[in-house]
């Protein structure tokens, strides 16, 4: 079993972090990634949540600085990837205004997701595998949405010779709260090493309105539970999780829940297993 100290060390959250220092550190990290790879474009899906807003604004600040320092041509492409009509579309548009991206690209993922879901269900049923459980199908469809969004982001990145940016921070990473090879796939993760409250703090510092930096987090992937809160899915609050990652004492049941989830989702954080 992993101890709290082991998880804290792995997630690299500094409880005494100076957000101004963290801001500079992460902008420089993004700039270095572009310069070291020879790429000039960054691609990120913007959902309307605080994580993508924060990562997106960091990206735009990084390309702005590079354009000033080494020459024009660096761009941040903000990608809107709704599944039909998004319930919090207004928040997504507000996030875009805060980020001020070089470009905005919109791709509706609904047709691709529905086609993949229906084709697989039909193929499985035809093979004798029962794929007609509504709850299971809804969960699987949520993962299809996340992976379709990542396919589109990488398609755009391929077209422009760019890098796909992830929004994963240490609170989500601890719980494995992302889709494997979906929103967990990226070329760089500039928010790692921060917990949720630190991400919210950066968002506020970057000019986000309270409606966004204080917005309750939701993945909004499953249609049988629209706008379901992350905290309900996690079984712990972000405040509890953040306290744990800062090395503070938390309720014994909460600590055990976090440790157990860390073990169960280790496969998401680990390299792909290979023979010895």
**74 among the known binding-site residues?**
no
**170 among the known binding-site residues?**
no
**45 among the known binding-site residues?**
yes
**180 among the known binding-site residues?**
yes
**207 among the known binding-site residues?**
no
Residues annotated as catalytic are: 51, 172
**196 among the known binding-site residues?**
yes
**174 among the known binding-site residues?**
no
Closest CA to 178 of 238, 127, 233: 233
**50 among the known binding-site residues?**
yes
**267 among the known binding-site residues?**
yes
**172 among the known binding-site residues?**
yes
**147 among the known binding-site residues?**
yes
The token duo for 41 is: 């474009």
Main-chain phi, psi angles of 162, to 5 degrees? -125, 180
**24 among the known binding-site residues?**
no
Q: Which positions make up the binding site for deamido-NAD(+)?
A: 147, 180, 187, 267-268
Which parts are annotated binding residues for Mg(2+)?
Answer: 51, 172
List the binding residues for ATP. 45-52, 167, 196, 218
Binding residues: 45-52, 147, 167, 172, 180, 187, 196, 218, 267-268
């Amino acid at each position: 079993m992993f101890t709290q100290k082991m998880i804290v060390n792995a997630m690299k959250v500094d409880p005494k972090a100076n957000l101004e220092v963290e801001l500079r550190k992460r902008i420089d990290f993004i700039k270095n990634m572009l310069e070291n790879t020879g790429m000039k474009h960054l691609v990120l899906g913007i959902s309307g949540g605080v994580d993508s807003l924060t990562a997106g604004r960091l990206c735009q600040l990084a390309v702005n600085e590079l354009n000033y320092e080494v020459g024009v041509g660096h761009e941040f492409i903000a990608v809107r990837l709704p599944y039909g009509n998004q319930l919090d579309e207004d928040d997504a548009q507000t996030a875009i205004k805060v980020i001020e991206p070089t470009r905005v690209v919109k791709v509706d993922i609904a047709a691709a997701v529905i086609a993949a879901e229906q084709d697989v269900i039909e193929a499985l049923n035809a093979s004798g595998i029962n794929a007609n459980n509504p709850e299971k199908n809804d969960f699987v469809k949520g993962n299809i949405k996340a992976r379709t969004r990542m396919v589109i982001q990488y398609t755009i990145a391929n077209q422009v010779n760019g890098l796909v940016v992830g929004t994963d921070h240490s609170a989500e990473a601890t719980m494995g709260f992302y889709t494997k090879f979906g929103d967990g796939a990226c070329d760089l993760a500039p928010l790692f090493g921060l917990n949720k409250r630190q991400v919210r703090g950066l968002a506020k510092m970057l000019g986000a309105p309270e409606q966004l930096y204080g917005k309750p987090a939701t993945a909004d992937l499953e249609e049988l539970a629209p706008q379901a809160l992350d905290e309900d899915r996690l079984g712990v609050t972000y405040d509890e999780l953040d306290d744990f990652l800062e090395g503070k004492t938390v309720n014994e049941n909460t600590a055990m829940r976090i440790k157990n989830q860390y073990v169960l989702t280790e496969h998401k954080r680990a390299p792909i297993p290979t023979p010895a």
